Structure 1
Amino acid sequence: MQHSTVHDFGKELRRVYLEEAEEGGHNKLDPRLVNAAPDSLDDLMSEMSSSSSYQHLDLRTLLLKTKAMLLKMDQKVQSARLRALIFQHLASTGIPKSMHCLSLRLAEQYLVNAAARSSLPPPEYASCLTDNSYIHIALITDNILAAAVMVSSTMTSAADPEKVVFHIITDKKTYTSMHAWFAIHPVFPAILELFPKLERVIFMHDDVVVQRDLTSLWYLDLHGLVMGAVSAQESDDEGSGDGLCLGKTFGDYINFSNPMLTTSPSSYNRESGFALWPMGSLPPALLAFHGQVLPLNRSWLLSGLGWQMPDPELLQSAAVIHFSGPGKPWLETGHPELRKIWQSQLNHSDELVSSCMVV
């Protein structure tokens, strides 16, 4: 096709496009036309060239078919992205076979090895469990390997490991394996037990690595508030408290126009399965402790490592790094460089770890 012919064709196509837009054609595509659209530009050209009207090309038809094809392609891309997110979520909640292996091996140790059933903590340290002069760190998890890394990294970073007490809460199916791990791998000179009443604890997620001593966090003055937490939202003024929660008002979490709010809370919760709460950052807890949370300096926690690679300076300076997001460090989906930080806290020569090919 000569240059002038191409130019004329392009000009005519733009004219038809503008006419179509003025008539609202962008919003009138029949879904059936989209479904029947060609899957590629080659298919489109082949279809148009085989048409009996090819000699008298209908530009409006070509335009509609092109738009339908592009829309069909866009729908496929969006569908693929959604599937990728779903698969990524499923991967993040799954447990690798190597970790199942470790749990089973530890359960076996609990049955056959008296050392794996030894008291946690040893009786001589029992008085430390409620001694508020110690730094008490609480962890709720059924992930043995993650718990081991959190404990190991905290001990490595601690200025005075002898003053650290770990309180691990787990479920029945994991208890024997969790007990066996820490009985066989004592955290001396720190103390561990599997949860007494205390005036204060430092709560940890299991997908974290501790990089700095937490003593000053333990003795932080909360100014009479119930808890301290790092803001979940960017804020230029860290001391203002703005951005403490992902949503700043009750309306961000409660639909006050919902007629179900006028019914009994207990009957609503029972019948709706707590459908009122949208997905977010623990909205029930945010509401329960509204106005009772002290914003902490961001250097205490760097989150989002399960989503993307953070700024290297922030990564190095953060006291605790949190692998929030689907890319957990014990999964292949985790970022390779970030997984190395987590894996550095594991004893690769440990017989149980190596035999289950955990790393």
Structure 2
Amino acid sequence: MKDLLYVSRAYYPSIAKLPAFDKLSHEMKQNIQDFERVLSETTTDKDLPPQIGKKLAKMEAVIARAKSCPVDCNNVDKKLRQLVDLTEDEANFHRKQSAFLYQLAVQTMPKSLHCLTMRLTVEYFRSSLDLEQSLSEKVLNPDLHHYVIFSRNLLASSVVINSTVQHTEESEKQYREATVQVLNIEDLKLNSHYRLAPLHLSLPEEFRVSFLRVDKLSSYQIRTEYLSIFSHSHYLLPKIFPTLKKVVVLDDDILTQRDLSDLWSLDMGGKVNGAVQFCAVKMEQLKNYLPRNSFSENSCAWMSGVNIIDLSRWREHNLTETFQRLVQEMSTEEGLSETTALSASVLTFQGLVYALDDSWMLSGLGLNYGHDEYALGRAAVLHFNWEHETMARAWHS
């Protein structure tokens, strides 16, 4: 609705100047007023009136007619730019006004009426300058230990952060009082590094992989495994954190049970990605989606969940560019849009994965049952592979 409203507002002044199109001008004005009224009364999609579909179709038809009129495109473009500038100015004004009023409210309200949230807000405004300076120093310091989570789920991320910090053994590079920085990937201005699609947060890809086996008695058996790998967002790590040399990447569906600091002292022998191998899925079983003779038949797939990433080596190998190139090639030539992330990730890290000991992570919780109690207790990280937005594909073996 907002997009259509912007377009119609851009065309309306030019249409209104054409006497031959008075009827269209009047109809367009009515549609604009109707849209403005609806948007002023709603804040979410569920609040929209039942007949919104008809209103959208009507506005689209009016705009289509307006586009066919002999109007000066420069005037339309100029008006559209003016609307965008006005909207940005209005948004900035409201943002500043909101911050001012919020600060004024928390400072003038009697302390006896303060709830915990208000007290925390007051403390935030009092120490905001010191907090920003401290945060900047810590998040940019390559000598400290840095953990990264790509997530839209605040509660799940809190569980990961709290469990990781709780089991942290304090050292000169790691502190029990963790500094948490929240970044919006859409605000990082990385579009020049990411040309394949509009930049937005994407989460670890979880694939449901089914294998169809046929035995000598011609009976069919289907085995299903869940494979969690990096998403498009993960390949922006060196761009998001240009000063860091190593990071540990955690999924938001894990629970930490012991200190993870030993990951930083591992000698990965020049490898880039320290990951737990997932030998329930062999590369030979994924051969339909990988170039022939690319891998040893018995080599294992690798899992996200807990990964130690050497960003220095990543940059040396230009893995971000490699991944983008593979995605582009597969999308245009092979048409593997649904399996592109899986194939491109496997090929990008070919020969660059360091196999972590199995004790670092136990996967399959939430799906597989009957886990050994000893295995549950010794695992540094428990990985809950929920079945959400998964992709089913059957390979014959």
TM-score bucket of the superposed structures, by smaller chain: 0.3 to 0.5
- The structure carrying a bigger strand percent of its residues is 2
Rg larger in structure: 1
TM-score scaled by length of structure 2: 0.39
